[in-house]
Amino acid sequence: MLHDPFEDLDRDQTVRVLPRHLAGPGSADLRAIWPFPFDDDWSLHQPSVEEGAVACSPCLRLRTGCVPDPDRRGGMQWITAAHRDPFGPATWQITFAGTTPVELLGDVHSELLDLYLEDRHSDKDHLFESQTSAQEAYVPLLARGWRHTVKTDGTQIFLAPDTLGGVQHQYDRTLSSRLAPSWRAWGGQPDEPHWSVQFSPSTPTTLVAAFTASLLSIEPVERTVKDIPFFTRHHVSIAAATTAKPPKPFTPVATPPLRPTMSRTR
């Protein structure tokens, strides 16, 4: 029988672990997952993870929310959508399972904010006319030893070395004459993943690249022992252990986060 590296640790003890796709969801702190400038012009409605919450850009073209869904693992979903017409249907959408590691959500939304700020202060429209190639999202996976297979329909599948995580890339030929990439990612077994993410066609590839970069990050993530999924415990490594600390409850945004700076370049 494989040794459980956590058997001698208290279930409430905090540890830092890798890889991220096997670490479990972590603590859902809206202020970390949504690094939007609520002190400036973004709006936050119903600020409670348990009851659901929605954040909107001032132009109403970007909307993101945590939606309670008791029939799904984790009891909720995270949905982010962009609307070219603020009163029309979504142009693209990202759907995260409620069990998705929170660091992945935070990094995608940080990149989303960067795109929004770039568009706001230029004549570009990165949110709807992405110039980033698909290779920028999946070449880092290959560089880190992820397995690569290609199906005859053009679908590419990238599997983590432990086979317990994957990214799928597929071109959708039905929307327009120009091929539009679609993406899916998961942690766990492909047929029964512990978490999954769906990127609809037309989602800016820059956001997918931010997701895969976060997925591959070698920066350990903090979890309590009890929050690490049982099936992953033989596949994660402990980077460091700290003293146990009580869970941090979500409180409404009374002291808004500092407005992020535009540090990324393209």
Indicate the pTM of the whole model. Answer: 0.86
What single letter denotes the amino acid at residue 156?
Answer: Q
Q: Which residue has the higher pLDDT, 107 or 152?
A: 107
Q: What is the pLDDT of residues 55-113, one digit of tens each?
A: 999 999 999 999 998 888 888 999 999 999 999 999 999 999 999 999 999 999 999 99
Could you give the percent of the chain with pLDDT greater than 90?
63
Determine which of 121-130, 176-185, 235-244 has the lowest per-residue pLDDT on average: 176-185
Domain spans in the chain, listed from the N-terminal domain onward: 14-242
pLDDT confidence band for 6 (50 / 70 / 90): confident
Edge-first strand order for the sheet with 76-82 is: 43-48, 52-56, 62-68, 76-82, 92-97, 192-199, 180-189, 165-172, 156-159, 147-150
Residue among 15, 24, 35, 26 at smallest CA distance from 210: 35
197 pLDDT above the threshold of 80: yes
Q: What is the pLDDT of residues 34-67, one digit of tens each?
A: 999 999 899 999 766 678 999 999 999 999 999 9
pLDDT at 206: 96
Radius of gyration of the chain (CA): 19
Q: What is the pLDDT of residues 202-238, one digit of tens each?
A: 999 999 999 999 999 999 999 999 999 888 888 999 8
Query: Cis (ω within 30 of 0) for the bond into 19?
Result: yes
